Structure 1
Amino acid sequence: MRRLVVLRPRERAGTTLARIAEAGGEGIGLPLFALEPLAWNAPDPAGFDALALTSVNTVTLAGPELAFLAALPVWTVGEATAQAAREAGLTVAHAGSSDAAALFGAMADAGVARALWLAGEDHRPKPARPNLTVIATYRAAPIPVDPAALAGAVALVHSPRAAARLAEIVTPGSRGTIHLAVISAAAADAAGPGWAGVAVATRPTDAALVAAAIDRARAHADKRSR
């Protein structure tokens, strides 16, 4: 089986590597970014109907200011973010199973008019509804990576930004031996062409991404053994 390379920041890679090991795979960490908390001040929660959290990082790197927002019902992307919010003393009203766009659509449909969105510094543009106030609680700083470490591997790509960073690091002429397992179609688009193969996770979760990567690695191993 091809080795699996986890591109997540070091603080988040452990969970993915553990899942790979449980599935019988060989995983190594090769972070593309280093996470850094940002200074921020919590606004008056009375000005909002809900708190939106679209990444575990926004919770774990938020610091003590997060406690001032405990009165707000929390809407999250993913159960992992929801669990981190609960552990931080917040009350989760809804845990979405898709992406940020779907979450904000669900919030608007549920009558949330004013929401506070804690996000990363590189967050995507705000939707028209609901009315969002965005505060960045962390940044993901790019770090140097040797692309030679990816040769012959299956790389796990957890976000469109990671996919775009990978496309910067690995030139089109060097992609032919690298397989990708990506968390979404948006991440696949951001990675660009030329890879040996691209497998998209059935759901935008770490568990589904690991399953897609294991399947890709085993399929290639089966072909080589024939």
Structure 2
Amino acid sequence: MTRILILRPEPAAGRTAAKAAALGLDAQVHPLFAPQPVDWTPPPPDAFDALLLTSANGVRMAGAGLRQYHALPAYAVGEATARALRGAGFADVVAGVGDGSAIVRQIAADGHGRLLHLAGTTVAPMEAGPLRISRIPVYSMASLPPDPTLLAAAVPGSVLLIHSPRAGARLAAQMPQAQRATLHLIAISTAALATCGTGWLSATAPALPRDDEMLALARRLCE
């Protein structure tokens, strides 16, 4: 059976592994990063029309300050982040179906103008359009030490899943060129794919930047 190596941080890695197992795939988790909270000062809620979270880690790491924004319409880049917001007490949550730029367009279409974005210290580029976005980091992704078990687990024919440009760059720095030639790579976006370097047995990204789309590509590689 082809092995799927999931390199995203926990707890998202565990969710991806569970979905992979449900598809009958042999999945292993080898995170390259771990989220850590960042001290922040919550601005007044009445300064904004809406709240945006682009990662479930932002919900988890924002702490008690997040509760101040329960009255604002909340937007999430995807369903996993939306579930985290609902679990944190937000009743009015809209889940996007694309990337950050897509959910920002939705927010503008809904008539909002002043947006609070609680995010990580590194954020994928997004088009602000007419919105005035105030972005506040509430967490960072700390690099974990190189894991020798990742290289050992990456046996020929394995499929590696990359969920961010930063993870792609980190993987490229750790995976020897000779070993890449035996491995398949699936990145969540073309931007993430571009950071992974060259020399892979195959390298691709789904049409939509979704975990399920990545797993569908992985499943086809395993057939």
The two structures have a TM-score, normalised by structure 1, of 0.89
Structure 1: give runs of 5+ residues left out of the alignment. 219-226
Partner residue, 2:139: 138
8 Å CA contact 1:5–1:29 kept in 2: the answer is yes
- Cα distance in 1 for partners of 2:171, 2:96 equals 27
Aligned CA distance change for structure 1 residues 187 and 18 (closer, same or farther; 3 Å): same
User: What is the CA-CA distance between 1:33 and the residue it aligns to?
Assistant: 0.3
Partner residue, 2:184: 179
Partner residue, 1:224: none
8 Å CA contact 1:82–1:92 kept in 2: the answer is no
Partner residue, 2:162: 157
- Cα distance in 2 for partners of 1:203, 1:126 equals 15
- Cα distance in 1 for partners of 2:93, 2:81 equals 12
User: What is the CA-CA distance between 1:196 and the residue it aligns to?
Assistant: 0.6
- Cα distance in 1 for partners of 2:77, 2:126 equals 15
Partner residue, 1:148: 151
Please list, as runs of the form range in 1=range in 2, the aligned pairs for 1:71-150 lying within 5 A after superposition. 71-125=71-125, 127-129=127-129, 130-143=131-144, 144-146=146-148, 148-149=151-152, 150=154
User: What is the CA-CA distance between 1:93 and the residue it aligns to?
Assistant: 4.4
- Cα distance in 2 for partners of 1:16, 1:163 equals 17
8 Å CA contact 2:76–2:94 kept in 1: the answer is yes
Q: Are residue 12 (structure 1) and residue 49 (structure 2) matched?
A: no
Secondary structure of 1:13's counterpart equals: helix
Amino acid in the other structure paired with 2:216: A
Amino acid in the other structure paired with 1:7: L
8 Å CA contact 2:50–2:114 kept in 1: the answer is yes
- Cα distance in 2 for partners of 1:159, 1:168 equals 15
The two structures have a TM-score, normalised by structure 2, of 0.90
Partner residue, 1:61: 61
- Cα distance in 1 for partners of 2:80, 2:93 equals 14
Aligned CA distance change for structure 1 residues 157 and 43 (closer, same or farther; 3 Å): same
8 Å CA contact 1:75–1:95 kept in 2: the answer is yes
Compute the RMSD of aligned alpha carbons: 1.8
Secondary structure of 2:195's counterpart equals: helix
User: What is the CA-CA distance between 1:27 and the residue it aligns to?
Assistant: 0.9
Secondary structure of 1:91's counterpart equals: coil
Secondary structure of 1:193's counterpart equals: coil
Secondary structure of 2:198's counterpart equals: coil
User: What is the CA-CA distance between 1:124 and the residue it aligns to?
Assistant: 3.5
User: What is the CA-CA distance between 1:92 and the residue it aligns to?
Assistant: 3.4
User: What is the CA-CA distance between 1:47 and the residue it aligns to?
Assistant: 0.2
Identity %: 40
Amino acid in the other structure paired with 2:211: D
Structure 2: give runs of 5+ residues left out of the alignment. none
8 Å CA contact 1:167–1:191 kept in 2: the answer is yes
Q: 1:142-162, CA deviations, whole angstroms, 9 ceiling, x for partnerless residues?
A: 112335232422111112221
- Cα distance in 2 for partners of 1:83, 1:123 equals 20
Amino acid in the other structure paired with 2:186: A
